[in-house]
Homo-oligomer: A and B are copies of this chain.
Amino acid sequence: MKLQEQSQDIIDLCGDAVELDLLVSQMKNLMVEHINEGRKPGALVVEYKPPEELKTLIDLDLPYTGIGVSGLMPLLQNVLRYSVNSWNPGFMDKLYAGTNPVGIITEMLIALLNANSHVYHVSPVLTLIENSVSEKLARLLGMGEKSGGITCPGGAFSNQLAMLTARNYMFPEIKTKGYCNFGKKLIVFTSSGGHYSIEKTGMALGLGIDNIVKVPCDDQGRMRTDELERLIIQSLERKEAPFFINATAGTTVLGAFDPLKEIGKIAKQYKLWFHVDGSWGGSLLFSDEHRHLIEGSSLADTFVLNPHKLLGTPLQCSFLLASDRQIFRQSNSLGAQYLFHDDSKYDLGDGTLGCGRRPDAIKLFIGWKIYGIIGYKQRIEHAFKMAKYLTNLVKKNSRFRMVLESPPNLQVCFWYVPKRMIILDQEEKESKKYQTWKEQMSLVTKEIHKRLQERGRFLIDYSPLELNGKELPPFFRVVINAPSINEHYLDELVKEFEGAGEGVLEYLEENKKFQNGLNITNGNCYMNGNGHVGGNGVLRTLGRANGNNKE
């Protein structure tokens, strides 16, 4: 059926193979151009525009009469022009990187099939693939003979389904009668460095944010198991119902690994559900060299692993694995008869919170087929090598201070310390001066971040953090993930920081950003003339490796 009244050209509402051929050929050219642009030395990651300005540069009008095929490519070109180019190795802002041609092919396949993997009969191959990949992942994690899993639309939803599954399994009466008159407060434990989706899930499930207990971390950002045990006992003494521990394998900011083995033992001892959020770090199972960081994964009741992060599959691809692959259906099914018929043990949707599902598992399946375990292993080991290279660059440059001396993972976190600004002495860290200094450092970080964004060659995020009971001012987090990152890009990155940092203190002072009387030109203790930084500064002390966490 041809569309009538088109302004520019005729398009068929059904769309056939001829139309596809034409459009895909045109799209391919755009893609080639975009990838080449992203890989060009010195290219911008993004031509950044604030929202109000960008609105004037993109034609957001939604028309009554379509623009037809001839209008499509100019529109797409414009979308690409002002978007972040994740093919550029300078995109180091998030835990995901750009994808690869194999990933794009897989998304084309998914789009072509337009299949819903909720029931077997409309997605037979995709269902088997999801079962197969999940089982293989769970077995590699050592989760046992009955293990397996499903995909969810992202790590946060995987965490959500894990907690829900645990609650429904352990307290089935809440599933039917509700939590309102349950009497005992359900309590969840996660570390202060754990992902906020654990809190959001607890909030959604009606536990209340107050009942998501943040277990303190040690000075390397790992959950303190002594504190965990103390808090569980405290909760039991209060006659609460502690039921769920979230351990993190690769925290969002620092990349820290909670001690899974010890936490797993505590979970078993007190009969709590042991969940591991390995959204970021779980993929290390593909590397012989780094797999030890997730030792203890075999003890998990549920485990999340997001190949869309470290393995480069397209967004999104998140697996929720369980030691008992039947648990999702058992715990969560409502038995909707219109959809899930009599013999539906292959109908994956029944165990989830959603209904329609994208068949995300095939993204890892195809990638795994093409690259093999060895490909993922090389990808991971290259990234660790690059993270070490950057760490060394940063450490030997007096403009930077590491947050952790030895990053446990692929995030290299540091402050940029402008010339003439020193690191505060350890003995002063509790003082009012430290507060003021923190505010200054916060302004410095944000100003440099803004400048980096405007320069556009690298996209890098910043974050504040509470570590070992201490609030740290915002620092930069460089994520090393993309296999296209090499030494050259990292050398350039350091130069870029030096360029962006030029005159930052003077700028902030001139613009009256420093509010607390401590300015940078009076020669007081917060800076000195030659940029020398003492070895006993707060940051250096906080960052001292304690030797328990191998790289």
Contacts and interface: CB of A to CB of B under 8 A. Distances in A.
A462 B341 CA distance: 9
Given A180-B206, A183-B180, A369-B63, A116 B102 contact: no
Given A4-B378, A31-B24, A66-B374, A180 B175 contact: no
A339 B308 CA distance: 18
Contact of A374 (B4, B120, B168, B464): B4
A28 B123 CA distance: 22
Contacts of A507: none
A470 to B, nearest CB: 15
Contacts of A105: 23-24, 27, 72, 76
A327 to B, nearest CB: 16
Given A75-B369, A196-B355, A353-B160, A23 B104 contact: yes
A487 B532 CA distance: 83
B175 A54 contact: no
Given A60-B129, A177-B208, A179-B179, A114 B136 contact: no
A358 B83 contact: no
Contact of A334 (B17, B99, B200): B200
A542 B79 CA distance: 53
B104 A369 contact: no
Interface in A110-124: 110-116, 120-124
Interface in A19-63: 19-25, 27-28, 31-36, 39, 46, 48-49, 51, 54-55, 58, 60, 62-63
Contacts of A157: 153, 157, 353-354
B180 A116 contact: no
Contact of A154 (B63, B316, B357): B357
B109 A76 contact: yes
A176 interface: yes
Contacts of A482: 14
A84 B80 CA distance: 33
A453 interface: yes
Interface string A153-190: 11111001000100010000011111111111110000
A492 B327 CA distance: 43
Contacts of A99: 111, 114
B174 A206 contact: yes
- Looking at A32, A195, A353, the one whose CB has the most chain B CB atoms below 10 A away is A353
Contacts of A110: 107, 314
A178 B206 contact: yes
Central interface residue in A154, A157, A176, by most chain B CB within 10 Å:
A154
A373 B6 CA distance: 11
A527 B80 CA distance: 66
B5 A374 contact: yes
Interface stretch (A90-98, A242-250, A258-266, A392-400): A90-98
A545 interface: no
Nearest to A83: B125
A283 to B, nearest CB: 14
Interface residues of A, number: 170
Contacts of A524: none
Contacts of A186: 178, 180
A270 to B, nearest CB: 20
A79 B136 contact: no
A116 B362 CA distance: 20
Contacts of A94: 116, 122
Contact of A49 (B54, B124, B369, B370): B124
A21 to B, nearest CB: 6
A20 B136 contact: no
Interface in A456-512: 459, 461-465, 482-484
Contacts of A233: none
Interface string A350-375: 00011111100010011011111111
- Among A4, A113, A133, A210: residue with most chain B CB under 10 A: A113
Contact of A156 (B98, B124, B355): B355
Nearest to A75: B369
B128 A54 contact: yes
A19 B35 CA distance: 11
A72 B102 contact: yes
A486 to B, nearest CB: 8
Contacts of A68: 370
Given A20-B31, A31-B112, 19 more contacts: A3-B371, A23-B101, A24-B27, A27-B109, A51-B128, A55-B128, A60-B132, A66-B371, A79-B129, A80-B112, A156-B353, A156-B355, A164-B204, A176-B208, A180-B180, A180-B206, A180-B208, A204-B353, A252-B339
Closest A-B pairs by Cβ, 5 of them: A178-B208, A206-B206, A66-B372, A15-B100, A179-B206
18 contacts: A1-B378, A6-B372, A11-B102, A13-B483, A15-B102, A17-B32, A20-B101, A22-B101, A28-B28, A48-B121, A49-B124, A62-B132, A72-B105, A122-B459, A176-B208, A178-B206, A180-B207, A315-B358
